Amino acid sequence: MWLRLGSSVGRRLMVQRQRTAVSHTTCTCMYMSDGSGPSNGKIGGKKGQTMALVEKMRDKLDRDSTLHQGDSWEELWQEGVTPWDLHQPTPVLQQELDTTALTSTSTSSSVGKRVLVPGCGSGFDLITLAERLGQDSVIVGLDISTTSLQRAQQVLLDHHSSSNTTSTGTVLLAQGDFFERPDSWDTVFSTNKDDPSKSNTCIPSFGSSFDLIYDYVFFCALPLSLRPQWGATMASLLEPSQGRLLTLMFPILPDADPTRGPPFPVTVQDYQHVLQCHGVVMESTEPYASTQTVPSRVGKELVCWWKHSSTVSAAAGEEDHVPTPVSKL
C-alpha cells in the first residue's frame, strides 16, 4: 500500500488533499505491464481499468476532508482499488537479495537479520525477504490498513500451505503508523507463534533499529510536506553501523507535475535531500536501473542502496579498497 496514515499524519494531510482530482495519463498508465487484469492475479491491468482505479483512488482522497487514521486507505483496500499492487513478489527485490550480502547486527542468538517493510500491502515481498534471508531473520510488515494486513496474512498462509521450504525467516504483520515509535505498533500476526521471541515481543526488542529497510511505492505516496519526516524516520530506524536502506525509486517522471498524486513523481535528488541531512548517503556511486523492473515501469524506476555516512566513509578508507557495484556486494 502506498501511504499508511496514522492519526498524527492524517491531520497534516487535510489541507494537502484539498485539490481537484486530475487525470494524468503518464502517472496512471505506468502501472500497466502485460495487459492482464487484476482478476487473474497477474501484474497491473488493462489500460482503461488501471486508469479508472487510479482516478477513483485520487478522487476519494481529494474528497475526504476528514482523512484520519488511514480510513480512506482502508476503504480503498476494502473496495479493491489498489492499482499499486503487483499481485506477486517484486522481481527487482528478488534480484537484489540474490546478489547482495546483508549483515546482521543483532546481539541475540535467536534473531538474525531484522527487516522492516513500511506499507507492506499484500505481503508478497515479505515472503521473498523471509526466504532469501533465512530462518533466523525477522521480517516486519507494517501497515495501517486492517484489510491490507488481513490480505497479507492470507497470502502468507496460502504460501506456507503450498511451499516445501522450511528454512524461512519469521514474518510479523504489524498495524501502526510508520512515523510513530515501533513499540507503538501492534503485532497482529506471526508466522512463528510457537517461538515467543519471534512473536509480538520482537518489535520493541529491536531497540527501534533494523538491518534492512525496504521502501517501494511508499515514499511516492507521501505529499511533499511529509518527505522530510520520512527521511528523519528512516535514519532513526536504520541500524547505525551496518544497517542498509533499499529504495526502489518510482515513479521517475521528469516532465510530470510533482504536486500531482499519489503517486507523486520523484527524483533522485528528492531522496538525497531528505536523507543526507540525517547522515544517510548512497552506498553506490549512483542509482541504477534493474533488468528485472516490470515492463510498465521500465524507464521510470531506479534502484539505490543507502547507509549511514560513517559506515560508507569507513569502507571507503580501507586499504586497497576497490569500489564494487552495490548489486554485487
What pLDDT is attached to residue 162? 84
Distances (CA, A) of 114 to 106, 184, 205, 214, 238: 8, 17, 11, 11, 10
Distances (CA, A) of 135 to 52, 120, 166, 198, 246: 41, 20, 8, 11, 21
| CATH label, 91-328, candidates 3.40.50.261, 3.40.50.880, 3.40.50.150, 3.90.1300.10 | 3.40.50.150
pTM, full prediction? 0.78
Q: How is 218-232 classified by DSSP, letter by letter?
A: SGGGS-GGGHHHHHH
What pLDDT is attached to residue 213? 97
Written as nine digits, the cell of 17 is: 488533499
Q: Which residues of the chain have pLDDT under 70?
A: 1-48, 60-61, 63-70, 103-111, 193-207, 311-329
Return the closest-CA partner of residue 72 out of 24, 142, 21, 13.
Answer: 13
Extents of the domains making up the chain: 7-79, 91-328
Please check whether residue 143 is in contact with residue 152, taking contact to mean a CB–CB distance below 8 angstroms: yes
> Cell 533488468 appears where?
291
**Whole-angstrom distance, CA of residue 176 vs CA of residue 165:** 30
What pLDDT is attached to residue 104? 61
